[in-house]
Copies of this chain bind each other. A is one copy, B any other.
Amino acid sequence: MRITTVGLDADDTLWHNESIFRLTQDRFRALMAEVAAPEVLDAKLAEVERRNLSLYGYGVKGFTLSMIETAMEVTGNQAPSPIVAEILAAGRDMLAHPVEALPGVEAALADLAADYRLVLITKGDLLHQEQKLAASGLGDLFAAVEIASEKDAATYERVFARHGDGAARAAMCGNSLRSDVIPALEAGCYAAHVPYHLTWAHELAEPPVGHAKFAELASISELPAWVRGLG
């Protein structure tokens, strides 16, 4: 059963994302330095983000709202107002941040696009993901783009049924074991993990070592050879 379709995650697979969140969180810590200890702030932000995830979903707008809510909670609703304006500005800066493909991405995708249908499969804010893809210059390499509110096995079944020849004839590649690898394997895809140097706590999971359809790759540059080797 030949592989015809390759799915690719976007954030931290094709371009930086988590590092931008971390830099913004550093900025948030600095803004709040006089009113909250960094470890108290980090713990509260993680709690607020987790609480809001089912309402806000993934992405910068929800993160910005959660930073403001955190600032309010750690100060008993007494956060100095200029801080709120600074948090809003930090969120806008994230949305307007330049997008640059990670090393090796363009070459690997161009190589694969010659022989396979490439499908971008990501979550986050719809508009922002579309804008990042456009800014990356990688858009023309993809046959389809799917922005989903959650990436579970049903998502991969649906996407590869729509844009390919089903999950069994697809390979998925991404930096998140939890979102890109494990549910894709559950759906019956092959799946390769290409780690990013940072992982959001929410995305952590155990690697499915020993699974027949799983591979751990050191870099996206190894992806074309691995996919071709699947037959």
- Please list the residues of chain A having a beta carbon within 8 angstroms of any beta carbon in chain B: 52, 55-57, 61-62, 64-65, 68-69, 72, 75, 77-82, 84-85, 88, 91-92, 95-96, 125-128, 130, 147-149
Set of chain B residues within 8 Å of A65, measured between Cβ atoms: 61, 64-65, 88, 91
- Find chain B residues with CB under 8 A from A52 CB: 92
Residue in chain B with minimal CB distance to A82? B77
Copy tally for this chain in the complex stands at 2
Alpha-carbon distance A126/B148, docked complex (angstroms): 8
Compute how far the CA of A147 lies from the CA of B57 in the bound complex, rounded to whole angstroms.
15
Q: A57-B126, A61-B62, A92-B55 are in contact. Are A77 and B68 (CB under 8 A)?
A: no
Contacts of A127 in B (CB 8 A): 56-57, 149
A75 to B84, CA, bound (A): 12
- On whether the beta carbons of B68 and A88 are closer than 8 Å, the reply is yes
Besides A61-B125, A126-B148, 6 other CB < 8 A contacts?
Answer: A55-B95, A55-B96, A57-B125, A68-B88, A125-B126, A127-B149
In the assembled complex, 6 residue pairs joining A and B whose CB atoms fall closer than 8 Å, in A order, are: A56-B95, A65-B65, A65-B91, A69-B88, A72-B81, A84-B84
